[in-house]
Amino acid sequence: VRPYEETMNEWIGLIGALAGTAIGGFVTYKVADQRHSFERAAEKERRLITACESIPELLSAIASQASTLNMGVLGDLGYNSPLKGDILKEKVQLDRLRMFVDFYAPLLSTDVKAISDQFAIVSRTVAQVLLEQNRNDEWKSKTVESAVFASLEITKLAQAAQEKLGQIVQTSLAKG
């Protein structure tokens, strides 16, 4: 065996070991990357499902709270049962609803904006009932009308948004 062949064989062995290590490292990296991609996709899907379950609950809760406030206004103005400032047992979660919609269901943004606008009318009406001193029949009539129509509108908008969300989810699931 010639001296340069022996050196060449050593180099070939070293190059083979380095190539094997590089290929093994690359394969390990690709497998880990695919696993992380799958985990990220699964986490994204889990968050989407959680959000899509939370949105209808929030819509229903907000519509229910608007109805509760409306009943408080009707009780105060129609039946002389004083409206209490703490009539709602839970915080109104319009901001949480907006966040979920902005992140996970932006197609519902206009619906949620309309619900927020109507809820502002109900809230303003409640404030007027709590603060107004000069309560004549005309004022009572306009106030009750405002609260009733806004509350009914919130209920209709919430139901429409829930139906729209159902369609969005069905379309998303059909795509795969």
Contact between residue 142 and residue 77 where contact means Cβ atoms under 8 Å apart: no
Digit-by-digit pLDDT tens for the chain (176 residues) are 566 677 777 888 888 889 999 999 999 999 988 988 888 877 877 877 787 889 999 999 999 999 999 999 999 998 888 888 788 888 889 999 999 999 888 999 999 999 999 999 999 999 999 888 888 999 999 999 999 999 999 999 999 999 999 888 888 777 75
Q: Is 135 left (phi over 0), alpha (psi -120 to 50) or beta?
A: beta
SS3 78: helix
**Whole-number Å distance between alpha carbons of 156 and 63:** 9
| CB within 8 Å of 157: residues ≥ 6 apart | 111, 114, 115, 118
Q: Is 80 left (phi over 0), alpha (psi -120 to 50) or beta?
A: left
> Which of these, 122, 127, 108, lies nearest to 154 by C-alpha position?
122
Residues in the chain: 176
pLDDT for res 44: 79
Tokens linked to 13: 């062995």
pLDDT for res 1: 53
Q: What is the dihedral of CA 125, 126, 128, 134, to 10 degrees?
A: 110
| CB within 8 Å of 168: residues ≥ 6 apart | 105, 107, 108
**Whole-number Å distance between alpha carbons of 90 and 60:** 13
pLDDT for res 133: 82
